[in-house]
Every structure is written in structure tokens, then in C-alpha cells.
């Protein structure tokens, strides 16, 4: 269902042939689980409880809460909306309205939840890194980068794409082993130019200009 009108139709069409329609992009999605799977899920929630709290503190009002997911398989995290919040498609539709109500816009668009995949290597490594030092600057950068990437992959738009791009560039520098304080090529060229001695004949040229 990719047409804009689908959002309005599904909101009114609650059931189809006796089956309740459920949005997989919203909270409260219940997947069939046996007792063993439920027990493992509870253990994962306990294990990642501290990481969820750290991520919520970093993201502050960007999300309502951070929880451990049971719907993710290959992705490290995803953004879902609350039961009565707007989906990504609905948010895009409302942003395109010329006569939109900005007060409602801010309220409905704010109802986002971040779900993390406890079985993903990125989340597990981030948990270890955060527990070692939750004040590590790289932890904050990684959490925000994960959140913004999850926004994009979940169909939402970024409020400040340039900041997201700068954060990616910093991570690329980190991956390449480049120090943030290292001079750039332009800075190095400028420094070399300043240190170069004057060419022979410069004084003669200056004198000729004075004579002219």
C-alpha cells in the first residue's frame, strides 16, 4: 500500500473479513511466540535495559522511549510510532499540506519509539562500550547516528541533513584513523606557502616597480 490515499482508508477500515488490520510500523505488534521464546525475550530486555536508558537520555525528546524489539532480524534498530501517532507516510502527507496545523503537527510527529535489535552485533558492541563509559563522546555520536539512520530507513525525513552528513564524515575519519585535529590538505598547503623563502629577484622586481 503505497498510495497516499491508503493512509486515510486504512485508518477507517479497521477490519477485513473478520480480521483486524494491524500496522507493522506501530508499537504493539504481537508476533506468535512460545513460552521459551518469551522467556528469552524477557532476558534480553533485562540485559539491554541499561543501554535503553542511556540511549533515551541521549536522544531526549526525539523519542518517547527506547525498547528491545522482537520484530527485527537484520537491522540494528528501527523507528515505530505509537498506536495513535502518524506513520512515516502520513507524516509526509501532513507536512505537504499548505494549511497544516503546526501545533498538531508537533504533537503527532513526536510520538516515535526506537526499537533495538538485541541480536545485532552493533547493538551488542554498543552495549559493552556504553557500560564501560557511558560518557564516551563516541557513544553519543553512534546513538544519534543510529537513530537518524533508522529514521531514514523507516521512511521519515531528517530535520537537519547537514548535521547528519557531518556526523557520518566524523565516523569515516574515525574508521580511517584520521585525527580530528589533523590539518587538512588546504591547511597544509597554506602552511607550506607561508614557510617558503622569497624567490631570488623579488627585491629587484620591487625596486623596478618603485622606479616606474
Domain ranges of the chain: 46-159
Distance CA 61, CA 110 (A): 8
pLDDT for 191 beyond 60: no
Residue 144's pLDDT band, with cuts at 50, 70 and 90, is: very high
**What does the pLDDT read at residue 192?**
46
Angle at 145 between CA 119 and CA 134, to 5 degrees: 70
CA distance 128 to 72: 20
Tens of pLDDT along 53-62? 999 999 988 8
Q: What is the DSSP string of 19-67?
A: EE---TTBTT------HHHHHHHHHHHHHTHHHHHHHHHHHGGG-SEEE
Fold exhibited by the domain 46-159: 1.20.120
Question: Which of 119, 40, 110, 47 is CA-nearest to residue 77?
Answer: 119
Contact present, 142 and 126 (Cβ < 8 Å): yes
Burial pattern 56-65, b for ≥16 Cβ within 10 A else e, equals: bebbeebbbe
The pairing of beta strand 15-16 with beta strand 65-68: unpaired
Whole-number percent of the chain with pLDDT over 90: 29
Q: In which band, very low, low, confident or very high, does the pLDDT at 188 lie, cut at 50, 70 and 90? A: very low
Q: Choose between 205 and 62: higher pLDDT.
A: 62
In degrees rounded to 5, what are phi and psi of residue 68?
-80, 130
Q: How far is CA 156 from the centre of its chain?
A: 10
Amino acid at each position: 500500500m503505497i498510495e497516499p490515499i491508503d493512509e486515510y482508508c486504512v485508518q477507517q477500515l479497521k477490519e477485513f473479513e473478520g480480521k483486524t488490520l494491524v500496522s507493522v510500523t506501530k508499537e504493539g505488534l504481537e508476533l506468535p511466540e512460545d513460552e521459551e521464546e518469551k522467556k528469552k525475550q524477557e532476558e534480553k530486555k533485562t540485559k539491554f535495559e541499561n543501554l535503553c536508558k542511556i540511549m533515551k537520555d541521549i536522544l531526549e525528546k526525539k523519542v518517547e522511549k527506547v525498547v528491545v524489539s522482537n520484530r527485527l532480524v537484520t537491522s540494528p534498530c528501527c523507528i515505530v510510532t505509537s498506536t495513535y501517532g502518524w506513520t512515516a507516510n502520513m507524516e509526509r502527507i501532513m507536512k505537504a499540506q499548505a494549511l497544516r496545523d503546526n501545533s498538531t503537527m508537533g504533537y503527532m510527529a513526536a510520538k516515535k519509539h526506537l526499537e533495538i535489535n538485541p541480536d545485532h552485533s552493533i547493538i551488542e558492541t554498543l552495549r559493552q562500550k556504553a557500560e564501560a563509559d557511558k560518557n564516551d563522546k563516541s557513544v553519543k555520536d553512534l546513538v544519534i547516528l543510529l537513530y537518524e539512520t533508522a529514521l531514514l530507513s523507516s521512511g521519515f525525513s531528517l530535520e537537519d541533513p547537514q548535521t547528519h552528513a557531518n556526523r557520518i564524515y566524523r565516523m569515516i575519519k574515525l574508521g580511517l584513523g584520521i585525527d580530528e585535529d589533523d590539518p587538512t590538505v588546504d591547511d597544509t598547503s597554506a602552511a607550506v606557502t607561508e614557510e617558503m623563502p622569497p624567490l631570488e629577484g623579488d627585491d629587484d622586481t620591487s625596486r623596478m616597480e618603485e622606479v616606474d
